[in-house]
């Protein structure tokens, strides 16, 4: 009823995330949160019956046990059968197990749960299912899309899944970042003990550093650290985030009004600078989001409107950037600008530099000497660090000669020339989730 009323009165215009929050205590009946619209969050301190989140279309559902309970939530049932059935969007975080037919016909929902019964993710076509526990029989039957992340400590998954419908793939950097965000949200919203256990496998730090920020894919998909130092040499990248921070309302208004047309895309794709920093920030974001591979050559058509994605995440972006030190300098000057040495043992630096051999993917090339300088800089910094790169001969040679740890991440498939991606660290712990 609430969602229907909101949709009718707003003529289909979505509420912003977090607009309406309603908290409950006790046991909910059938179809709790069914067809819930964007901008509404329903939380239960208790449990629920069948069909939780049926047809969920943008809202958020959170269910967790009573705070004074003494049992382990991930060993108990928190909701009934057919949770998330036919959902098209939104989020669902359930601190406990659910019964049969979880996320059947899900096409866009992000759902986190701590164990499921039989026939999970049946006929699923999209979205994300995070299952931090065991699965029942016939998992993934008829599944044709979406991704399921499964914590499988007892190694029972393959024997209980429908192998004719699903593929088993290793985790790569992008999927690990995505999963980290889901688990972090689950922990924050439900206080999940199993989520807390998994999250501890990531390197602890109070000071986070990133000298090749770009779109901030890693930064925005991790919990915010106490102190954050980020940098990007690209003037457009720096200007974009400065405008989002300093002129939020003006930026949102301008970005909202700019029409999504091929004519506008081609005009900005010519590289002409605009008359103001604010308009240049909008131009850069427009090209980055609508250009194929972030380039101004070909406009990308997507069923998911990138403009709405950007606007819906503005508040989260601002929250993450609040208090963050943002620099616009050559990476060789980065550590000189950071005040970190008094707490060096609690520092972590992540590097995602322009990969050698992929000059056409970046606004400025990264040559072999830059790579030598980066390795030397990191080794002399005294901090714990990790670097993403391709298995370029020079990169592997340097890492091997320096006695660094090389972790195979997998093959990058979203670029012109497929290459094996590696993570190089100066610590020996291999960070694995499964």
Query: What digits encode the pLDDT tens for the residues 138-175?
Result: 999 999 999 999 887 666 777 888 877 788 777 766 77
Distance between CA atoms of residues 262 and 40, nearest Å: 34
* Residue 109, domain member (yes or no): yes
| 68 half-sphere exposure, CB direction, 13 A CA radius | 1
Q: Is 433 buried (19+), middle (13-18) or exposed (0-12) by CB count in 10 A?
A: middle
* 139 closest CA partner among 128, 126, 150, 127: 150
Condensed to tens digits (0 to 9), the pLDDT of residues 23-59 reads 999 999 999 999 998 889 999 999 999 999 999 988 9
Contacts of 292 (CB under 8 A, 6+ apart): 298, 299, 300
Ramachandran sector of residue 425 (left: φ over 0; alpha: ψ -120 to 50; beta: rest): beta
How far does the chain reach from its first CA to its final CA, in angstroms? 41
Distance between CA atoms of residues 138 and 162, nearest Å: 5
- Backbone CA torsion sign across 308, 311, 315, 321: positive
Could you say which of 177, 193, 209 is where a domain stops?
Answer: 193
Say how many domains are in the chain: 2
Distance of CA 277 to the CA centre of its chain: 28
Mean pLDDT of 90-102: 95
State residue 415's pLDDT score.
Answer: 41
Q: Model confidence at 434, in pLDDT bands (50, 70, 90)? A: very low
Nearest-5° Cα angle at 147, 123 to 216? 150
Strand partners, 417: none
Distance between CA atoms of residues 237 and 241, nearest Å: 7
* 251 closest CA partner among 289, 273, 287, 277: 277
Strand partners, 139: 161
* Residue 209, domain member (yes or no): no
Q: Is 212 buried (19+), middle (13-18) or exposed (0-12) by CB count in 10 A?
A: buried
Could you say which of 193, 210, 241 is where a domain stops?
Answer: 193
The DSSP code for 331 is: G
The chain-wide mean pLDDT, for the chain, equals: 83
Q: Which of 92-106, 176-190, 370-384 has the lowest mean pLDDT?
A: 176-190
Which helix (H) or strand (E) segment holds residue 185: the answer is helix 173-190
Q: Beta strand 40-48 with 57-64: parallel, antiparallel or unpaired?
A: parallel
Distance between CA atoms of residues 321 and 127, nearest Å: 27
Cβ atoms of 33 and 59 closer than 8 Å: yes
The pTM of the full predicted model, rounded to 2 decimals, is 0.56
Distance between CA atoms of residues 399 and 72, nearest Å: 43
Condensed to tens digits (0 to 9), the pLDDT of residues 275-324 reads 899 999 988 888 777 765 556 666 665 555 667 767 777 888 888 888 89
pLDDT over 80 (residue 76):
yes
* Residue 244, domain member (yes or no): no
- Give the CA radius of gyration of the chain: 23
Strand partners, 325: 229
Which residues span the domain enclosing 373? 329-434
Helices and strands in the chain, H and E counts: 13, 16
Mean pLDDT of 368-377: 94
CATH number, domain with residue 65 = 2.160.20.60
How many other C-beta atoms can be found within 10 angstroms of the C-beta atom of residue 126? Answer: 17
Q: Is 144 buried (19+), middle (13-18) or exposed (0-12) by CB count in 10 A?
A: exposed
Ramachandran sector of residue 363 (left: φ over 0; alpha: ψ -120 to 50; beta: rest): alpha
State residue 187's pLDDT score.
Answer: 87
Strand-by-strand arrangement of the 89-94 sheet:
20-28, 40-48, 57-64, 89-94, 110-113, 125-131, 145-150
* Residue 250, domain member (yes or no): no
The DSSP code for 262 is: H
Condensed to tens digits (0 to 9), the pLDDT of residues 238-278 reads 999 999 889 989 988 988 887 777 777 777 777 777 789 99
Q: Beta strand 419-425 with 405-412: parallel, antiparallel or unpaired?
A: antiparallel
CA distances to 56, 228, 309, 431 from 204, in Å: 35, 14, 30, 12
* Residue 255, domain member (yes or no): no
* Residue 15, domain member (yes or no): yes
Could you say which of 155, 173, 193 is where a domain stops?
Answer: 193
């Amino acid at each position: 009823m609430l969602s229907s009323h909101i949709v009718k009165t707003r003529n289909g215009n979505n509420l912003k995330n977090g607009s309406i929050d309603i908290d409950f205590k006790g046991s909910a009946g059938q179809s709790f949160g069914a067809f819930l619209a964007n901008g509404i969050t329903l939380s239960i301190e208790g449990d629920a019956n069948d069909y939780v989140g049926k047809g969920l279309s943008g809202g958020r559902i959170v269910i967790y046990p009573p705070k004074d309970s003494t049992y382990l939530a991930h060993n108990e049932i928190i909701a009934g059968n057919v949770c998330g059935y036919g959902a098209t969007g939104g989020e669902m975080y359930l601190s406990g197990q659910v019964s049969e037919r979880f996320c059947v016909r899900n096409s866009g929902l992000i759902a986190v749960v701590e164990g499921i019964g039989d026939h999970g993710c049946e006929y699923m076509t999209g979205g994300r299912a995070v299952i931090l526990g065991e699965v029942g029989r016939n998992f993934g039957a008829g599944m044709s899309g979406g991704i399921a992340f499964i914590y499988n400590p007892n190694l029972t998954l393959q024997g209980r899944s429908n192998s004719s419908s699903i593929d088993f793939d290793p985790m790569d950097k992008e999927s690990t970042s995505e999963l980290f965000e889901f688990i972090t949200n689950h922990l924050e919203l439900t206080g999940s003990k199993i989520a807390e256990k998994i999250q501890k496998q990531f390197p602890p730090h109070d000071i986070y550093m990133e000298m090749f920020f770009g779109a901030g894919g890693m930064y925005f998909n991790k919990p915010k650290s106490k102190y954050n130092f980020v940098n990007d040499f690209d003037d457009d990248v720096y200007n974009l985030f400065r405008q989002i921070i300093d002129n939020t309302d003006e930026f949102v208004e301008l970005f909202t009004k700019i029409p999504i047309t091929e004519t506008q895309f081609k005009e900005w794709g010519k590289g002409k600078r605009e008359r103001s920093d604010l308009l240049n920030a909008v131009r850069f974001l427009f090209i980055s989001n609508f250009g194929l591979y972030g380039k101004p050559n070909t406009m990308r058509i997507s069923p998911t409107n990138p403009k709405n994605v950007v606007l819906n995440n503005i508040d989260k972006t601002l929250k993450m950037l609040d208090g963050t030190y943002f620099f616009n300098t050559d990476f060789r000057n980065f550590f000189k600008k950071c005040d970190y040495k008094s707490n060096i043992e609690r520092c972590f630096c992540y590097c995602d530099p322009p990969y050698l051999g992929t000059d056409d993917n970046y606004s400025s090339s990264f040559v072999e000497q830059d790579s030598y300088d980066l390795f030397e800089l990191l080794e002399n910094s005294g901090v714990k660090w990790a670097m993403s790169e391709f298995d370029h001969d020079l990169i592997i040679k340097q890492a091997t000669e320096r006695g660094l740890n090389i972790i195979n991440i997998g093959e990058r498939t979203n670029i012109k020339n497929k290459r094996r991606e590696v993570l190089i660290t100066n610590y020996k712990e291999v960070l694995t989730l499964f």
